[in-house]
Amino acid sequence: MEVLVPRHSGFCPGVRQAEKSLLSTHDRETETPLRVYGYLINNKQYISMLSSKGILTVADWKEINKGSIAVIRTHGIRREEEKKIRQSHRVLDLTCRNVKKVQLKIKEHSDKGFYILITGKKTHPEVEGLVSYAEQSFVIETENDLAEFEKKYLMDGSLHQPIFIVSQTTGNRALFETVCKRIEGRVTAQPVVFDSICPVTELKEKEAMELQDLADVSFVIGDKLSSNAAKLYQILKARREEVHFIEDLQDLLNLNLPLINYKIALVVSSASTPFSIEETVCRYLKDIR
């Protein structure tokens, strides 16, 4: 089978940089344990690989012993937690610079008295971190949330502050644009909009859609925890029926698909999928003839 892979498939620059810093620190600091607070990236197999190297992931930063280096994941963490960790630990901050930029923009506008509107998944670690940089904020995950915000704050004109709008970096552009358009028409002061959607993610989605048109089946590889993998899957699935969301080769085998009937497959991995998983899937598909 012929296999098409978008150029931007797999780890994004933020994850690549985080991996490089983490592993080089691990090689250098042989005597100091490294403890990652929360998943470095949303991929369970990758977290196990780190653990096999002695880089353990903890759910609560208070579990990190004083002598260890506390690692902050690519999605960032809540501001008050970061402050506390920095008071008691050496820190390796792997927050992606795009995420850091959004955190600081939110803080800057919040300090100036803006009300912060964030589009994205409420329970995603990045969004939880972003919220912590705002004095007052509202997260819009769905059109229902937008309606709720309008009802609560805009219908009776009870919101007197200017509004600052941002998105989760891997957020949905259609939702972000809908929110911007709807809010602009409802408030007297023009809202300030910061387009914080990661360009790499959008580029990968665009390439994947172009290649999907040449393929007769598509595979999105990613952990079910990964929101950018889920988004990639939804985008491709909305265009064609033959799209499958898999975590690895075993998942693909479990689907029991009549692979021999396909001539061209698109394989695209999320920003948090290790290359080795994609390589194994591609090799398997290429051998089918």
Contact residues for ligand SF4, defined by CB under 6 A = 12-15, 74, 96, 98-99, 169-170, 198, 200-201, 271
Min dist. Cβ of residue 219 to ligand SF4 (A): 20
The distance of closest approach from Cβ of residue 158 to ligand SF4 in the complex, given in angstroms and rounded to an integer, is 34
Residue 74 vs 132, nearer CB to ligand SF4: 74
If 0-12 CB within 10 Å is exposed, 13-18 middle and 19+ buried, where does residue 130 land? buried
Query: DSSP labels for 36-84?
Result: EES-SSS-HHHHHHHHHTT-EEESSGGGS-TTSEEEEPTT---HHHHHH
Choose between 10 and 183: whose C-beta lies nearer to ligand SF4: 10
Q: Is the distance from CB of 75 to CB of 132 less than 8 angstroms?
A: no
Nearest-CB residue for ligand SF4: 14
Alpha carbons 236 and 219: distance in angstroms, whole number: 9
Token readout for 83 is 């402050």
Dig out the tokens for 238 from the structure: 């909305």
Nearest to ligand SF4 of 74, 119 (CB atom): 74
The dihedral region occupied by 282, where left means phi > 0, alpha psi between -120 and 50, and beta the remainder, is alpha
> C-beta of 36: minimal distance to ligand SF4 in Å?
15
Q: Which is nearer to ligand SF4, 96 or 267 (CB)?
A: 96
Residue 259 CB, shortest distance to ligand SF4, in Å, is: 30
Report the nearest approach of ligand SF4 to the CB of residue 10 (Å): 11
Of 75 and 183, which CB lies nearer to ligand SF4 in the complex structure? 75
